[in-house]
Amino acid sequence: MKLKIEKTVLYRIPKFPIDAELKWHWEDLKDAISISSKDFYKEIKDITAEELKGLSPKVLFSIFKYFNRARLRAVPYGTFASIGISEISNDFSSGILLKDQQEAHEFVDWAYQNDPQFSFSTLLAEDGLVISNSSYYRIDDIIRYIYKDSGTFELTDIGYDKTIETILNACRIPIRFSLLRNEVDALGLSWRDLHLLINELVNLQLIFSDQHRNIVGIDFFQRNGITLNKAEQKYIISQRAKEAGHLPADLFKALPQLTEILQDISGEDLEPNLMKKFKQSFRRKYDQKEVSLLEALDPELGIEYGTFAQTESTEFKVTDFIAKEKNNLEDVDLPLKSLLIDRFNDTEGFQRKVILLDDHKFKPGTKKTMLPNSFSAMLSVSDGLIQIDHLGGCTANALAGRFTLASNELLNFCRDIANIESQSNPEVIFFDIAYMAEVTVDNVNRRKSIYEHQLNIQNYSACDAPVSLNDLVIRLQGDELILRSKINNKRVIPRLASAYNYSRSDLPAFRFLCDLQHQGIQSGFSIRIQNSIPNLKFYPRVQYKNIIVSPASWKIVPNDFLEHEDEQQNIDACTQYLKDIGIGAYFKTGQLDQTLCFNVNNASDIRMFIQYSKKVSSLYIEEALIPDRSPFFDRKGKQFCGQVLLTMTHTEEIYKDVSIENRNLNITNTPAYPPAYDWLYFEIYCHPQRADGLLLEPISRLLRNYKAYIESWFFIRYNENGDHIRLRVKFKKFSDGQKIIQALNVSFAKEFALGIISDLQVKTYRREVERYGNDLIDLVESHFQKDSAYVLILLRQSLTDQVKYRLCSQFITAVAKEVFQPQDNFHDTLKKMRDSFNKEHSMNMDDFKKANRYYSKYLESNQNDVNRETNRSCHDFKESFKDTLRDCALTRRYNLFTDLFHMHVNRLFNSNQRTHEMLIYNFMLKDLQRESAFKMLRK
C-alpha cells in the first residue's frame, strides 16, 4: 500500500498571535465573546482594559480561558480561530504569510426558530419538490416509519392504505408536484382529496418538501430567502487567507512511514462493541439470509441496535438507572507495550525523556487491517517538529466537510477526495449520511454536497441520486455485514462527512450506519502510553524522527505545592515545582479540544493554573508545542500557533461487491417437541415490547378457550438466549397436551407471519424443586398462577410504572405486617436487598438525586384507575402470597419472600425488571420512613 500526502492542506489559525497581550486586544476579544457567549458578554461589555484587574477571580478566569483560546488553540469557533487553504511543496519556503484580517462567513444559525410553515399553496404555485421519508416500511396492516418529536426519534405507525403507499413510492426521489399529480392520477383522487392528503402526510412527517430543512447541499436558509437579522444568533466560519507561501514537504515526509509502523503496532480495533454484538445476533436470527435493513433494526421484528430507542415519552425513565455499557476499546497487548516496558525501570520509572521509535525494529503484524482510502492527520507544527493531535478517520472529509459552506476551493478538494474513494472501489457506491437532530449542535453537520449519493434521515433532500433507507438490504457474509441497494443492485458504503459526534444520537439506524463505517478498516491509531501502563507519575515523549507521537506528561498533585496562604508564595512554589519536574516553557491540560495552555514563566498564567487545579485532587499535564519560530506569521512578523490538517490517501481497492448466491433462500428451524407428561413448557421468543400484547391477546385467549383442559398455568419472562416468555401449562389428561400445542400454533399464526414471534419452542418443564423444596413446590406453582392472573389484569389497565410501584409497596407492607414479626427483621431484609441492587446498578450521588426526584413523581401517582376486578384479584394474590410464606419455615421465609417478589416484578414489567426492582426497594423503604415519621408526629 503506497500512502500519498495530498498537496492541498487545510490550516487552522487562532485569532491572536502567540505573544499577544490582553490589554492591547481586549476590545477585539470582547467582539469574539459577543458572538460566542452573549450571556457572558453582557457581564463584561462595558469593562475597559484598565478595569480588568478589579474583576472577580471567577470572571478573570473566564476571560483568561477565552484569551488563551484566542492565542493558543486553533479549533475553529466563531471568530476565535480561522481556517485557510494552502499546499505543501518541495520548493523552498519559510512558511505561510497570513493576511492581516480574518474574513467572517456569516450564516443564519441553525437554532433559528422562525421557519415558514409548510404551505400547500406555495407548493402548488412554485411547482415545488417533494420527497418521501424513506424510513417507511409496511408490516401487515400498518406503515411504520421514523418520526421526530422535539428532537427525539421514535418509531410510529399508521394504518396501511394503498393510496398512501402509492404516493410515497412515487416520491422516492425528489419530484415536482405537477409530475406527482400525473403519477397518482390513476388513483382517481379529487383535487381537494389530494390537497388534504398531501397536507396530512407532511404533518405526519411521511413527506418533506423543498420548504423543509436540509442539512446537506445548498444552504436551507439561502434556498428559502431567510436572511440574517442583526438581533439573531449567527453561525460563523472564519477564514484567514494567505498572502503567499506554502508548507515545506520535507517537514511531513516521515508521516507515511510512521503510519505504516502504527498500523503494525497500535492494534486498535475501532469496530464498536454494539456492531460486534449485532453481528452475533444477526447470525443467530437470520444466518445468511438477506433482509431489509429497517426490518433488521426494528426492535420488535429484528434486532435492537443498542438501547437508544425509548418506548415512553415521560420524565420518569427507568432506563436512567441502567448501567450503560461503555464502548471503550479493550486493553490489548500491543507490540508497543514491550517497548515501553523495556524503557521502564521498576524503581525509578522512565529514565528517558524521549522514547524514539526510530531505533526499535517492530515485527510486521500478521494480519494488517486495510487503511481507509482517505484519512486525516491533524498536526501542530513547531521549530521543525510536528505533533500528532489526531490521526485517522473513515474519510478525510469527516474533519473538512463542514467548512465547505465557506469555501468552494475546499469543496472541490473534498469532492476530489470522494472521487479517489469511489474510483478506488468501482464496484460499490459511497453515500453521505445527512442527519440532523440537535439545533444547538447541528451547525457542525451543515455542509455542501460532497458525495454523489446521500441518504437523508428525517430531512429534505434535493440530491439527484438519493439512497433510501427502505431500499437497503443487509446480510452477513463471513464476519462482514454487506449492505446493498436493491434499486442500484450494488453494495453501498456509508460515510459521514461531518465531525459530529454521532454517539450523541439516540437513533439506531443512524448509529448503525455510522458504526458500519469502521468495518474492515483501521480507522484510527492510539499509542498514548497511559493506555498501556496506567497511573504513572511521568510518561516520556514518544517520537519518530521529527514527529511527536505522544507528548510527555506528568501527574500533578496540587497539594504538593499549594502550602502557603500568600498568593505570591503559592505562585513561586508552583513555578519552582513545575521546573523541578522537568516541564518546558509551556504545558497544557484538559481534554480533546477543551484544553488550556500555560506559560511556566508567566506569573499570571501560573495564577490561573492554580485556580484551575484547586478543583481537583490530581491531574495530568503535558508538554505543549508552542513554536519560537512558527510557519504561520503576518507582515508584522507576529507568530501564530497554527495546526495543519493533512490528507493521506491510497488507491487500493478495499470494498468489493461480493457475489450473492441463493439470495432469497429462506432458512427456517423446525422446533423440537420433546415428550410432555403433566406439564407443557413453551418458550415464545419476541421483543419485550410485544410480550404484553401476546400475553393479553393470543395467550389469554388460549387459556380462556381451553380452560376445561387446563389444570394450572403460569408465565415468567426471560432474556437468556434472547427475550422470551416462558409459559408453563399443566393439563388434566395426557391427550390434552397435543390439543393445546395445536391450539397455540393456530393462535400464534399471525404473529409468526409478521415476525412478531421469532421462534416458538416446546420443552420439558423441570420443576424448580431445588429452589423451593418438595414441600413447597406445589404451593409455589399454585401461587404463580394467581400471580400471573393478577398481572394480566394489571397489564390490561396500562398502568404507569409509578402506580405499579405503589401497588407493590402496599401489598408488601400488608403482607409483612401479618407474616413477619418483629418488623425490624423484615426491614433489615428490605435494606439488604436495596443495598445489593444499588451496588449492582453502581448507584452514585447523581443517581440517588435522580431517584429522589422520581420518588416525588411516585408520590403524586394516581391509583384511581384501579378497578374492582383488580382489587379482587389483588386480594387473592395477597392471600396466596401470605399462605405460601406461612407454610414455609421461618428460617427460609425471608429468602422465599425475596424470590416470590422477584418473580412478581419479573411478570409485571416487560423489560429492565432488575432496575424496576431496585427502585421499588428504594421507594418501599422511603414509604416506611415516611410512615414512621407520621407516627412520631401524631404522638
* pLDDT tens-digit readout, 179-193: 998 888 888 888 889
Helices (H) and strands (E) in the chain, counts: 29, 38
CA–CA–CA angle 483, 488, 490 (5° rounding): 40
Q: 454-511, pLDDT tens digit by residue?
A: 999 999 998 888 999 999 999 988 789 999 999 999 999 999 999 999 988 989 999 9
Supply the DSSP symbol for 639.
Answer: B
Q: Where exactly are the structural domains of the chain?
A: 120-212, 799-939
What pLDDT was estimated at residue 722? 84
Residue-wise burial string across 410-437, b where 16 or more C-beta atoms lie within 10 A, e elsewhere: bbebbbebbebbbebbeebbbbbbbbbb
Q: Which helix (H) or strand (E) holds 811?
A: helix 801-819
Give the pairing of strands 632-633 and 96-98.
Answer: parallel
- List the one residue out of 517, 496, 499, 407 whose CA is nearest residue 444: 499
* Spatial CB neighbours of 142, under 8 Å, sequence gap ≥ 6: 157, 158, 159, 160
Residue 363 C-alpha cell reads as 515485527
The span from the CA of 73 to the CA of 85, in Å, is: 18
Residue 755 C-alpha cell reads as 415476525
Residue 409 C-alpha cell reads as 476551493
Amino acid at 806: R
Supply the DSSP symbol for 364.
Answer: P
Cα-trace Rg, the chain: 33
Kindly tell me the burial class for residue 508, based on how many C-beta atoms sit within 10 Å of its own C-beta (0-12, 13-18, 19 or more).
buried
Question: Mean pLDDT in the chain?
Answer: 87
SS3 category, 499: coil
* Spatial CB neighbours of 383, under 8 Å, sequence gap ≥ 6: 627, 628, 629
> What is the mean pLDDT of the segment spanning 36-51?
94
The span from the CA of 645 to the CA of 88, in Å, is: 11
Alpha carbons within 13 angstroms on the beta-carbon side of residue 825 total: 12
668 compared with 438, residue with greater pLDDT: 438
Q: 104-148, pLDDT tens digit by residue?
A: 999 999 988 777 789 999 999 999 999 999 999 999 899 999 999
SS3 category, 455: strand
Q: 655-701, pLDDT tens digit by residue?
A: 988 654 434 333 333 333 344 567 888 999 999 989 999 999 999 99
The span from the CA of 709 to the CA of 483, in Å, is: 50
Residue 123 C-alpha cell reads as 407548493
What pLDDT was estimated at residue 804? 93
Residue 158 CB: number of other CB atoms within 10 A?
16
The pair phi, psi for residue 373, each rounded to 5°, is -70, -20
Cβ atoms 13, 75 nearer than 8 A: no
SS3 category, 234: strand
Residue 467 C-alpha cell reads as 439512497
The span from the CA of 42 to the CA of 46, in Å, is: 8
Cβ atoms 414, 398 nearer than 8 A: no
Least confident of 265-269, 313-317, 472-476, 851-855: 313-317
Cβ atoms 490, 657 nearer than 8 A: yes
Per-residue pLDDT band for 327 (boundaries 50, 70, 90) equals: very low
Q: 64-78, pLDDT tens digit by residue?
A: 999 999 999 999 999
* Spatial CB neighbours of 246, under 8 Å, sequence gap ≥ 6: 86, 87, 88, 89, 91, 93, 96
What pLDDT was estimated at residue 322? 64
Residue with cell 433532500: 461
Residue with cell 487503511: 371
What pLDDT was estimated at residue 859? 86
Residue with cell 429492565: 912
The span from the CA of 137 to the CA of 472, in Å, is: 11
> What is the mean pLDDT of the segment spanning 543-568?
91
Contacts made by residues 583-590, CB under 8 angstroms, sequence distance 24+: 583/554, 583/621, 583/623, 584/623, 585/626, 586/623, 586/624, 586/625, 586/626, 587/621, 587/622, 587/623, 587/624, 588/621, 588/622, 588/624, 589/619, 589/620, 589/621, 589/622
Amino acid at 443: N
Residue 50 CB: number of other CB atoms within 10 A?
9
Least confident of 346-350, 632-636, 893-897: 346-350
> What is the mean pLDDT of the segment spanning 527-548?
86
> What is the mean pLDDT of the segment spanning 559-578?
91
